[in-house]
Amino acid sequence: MKRIVILISGRGSNMERLIRAERQGELAQAQVVAIFANRANAQGLAHAAAANIPAFVVDHENHPDRESFDAALIAAIDRHQPDLLLLAGFMRILSAGFTRRYAGRLMNIHPSLLPAFPGLHTHRRALEAGVRLHGCTVHFVTPALDHGPIILQAAVPVLDGDDEETLAARVLREEHRIYPLAVRWFVEGRLRITGQRVEARGRQQEDALYAPCFV
């Protein structure tokens, strides 16, 4: 049984989806053992409590710099002996020391088709760039921001009349679909990192890049 720790900063909708995936048997070989937030007012903490999952706050504002915050977060996380860490809307840039400590077992989901639009405001930037396809990416986290080895992507169309809200909602539906799938591949031991590429043993080609949904 793989032990999973999830890190959040806000409402934690991807966290909710991952917990539901575990409870519904989609992640039969995994258990979410703890939730951590860097903000005491993160809405996702209430959902974690309702799901009877231990939830903790390591507030970045209580630490003078990134390194001391990361050290405190590492100490708190390691008490739960995680096999896999999942960033689910965790809005902190992690230090190189943190990402290297959990290399190969630290995942993130980013709301763009990386390497396009790393960082913030991805939906606004996609609209401004005039792209016709947008989407989301599950990747392993490395010291290079939003540039770790890609596990899985899903594409959605950018439709005439879209604004940030409508495009974000379309992408979020795909985030909720592919993040549990990538986690399942990990817990089943199907992922192998070779350089900047991730090989998923036994995956179907259609899983690698989901066809756009025009609804």
What amino acid positions are annotated as catalytic residues? 110
Q: What is the DSSP letter of 149?
A: P
- DSSP alpha helix (H) spans, the chain: 13-23, 44-50, 66-78, 96-101, 122-129, 164-187, 205-208
Q: How far is residue 60's CA from residue 187's CA, in Å, rounded to a whole number?
A: 30
Packing angle of the helix pair 122-129, 164-187 (nearest 10 deg): 120
Q: How far is residue 101's CA from residue 155's CA, in Å, rounded to a whole number?
A: 31
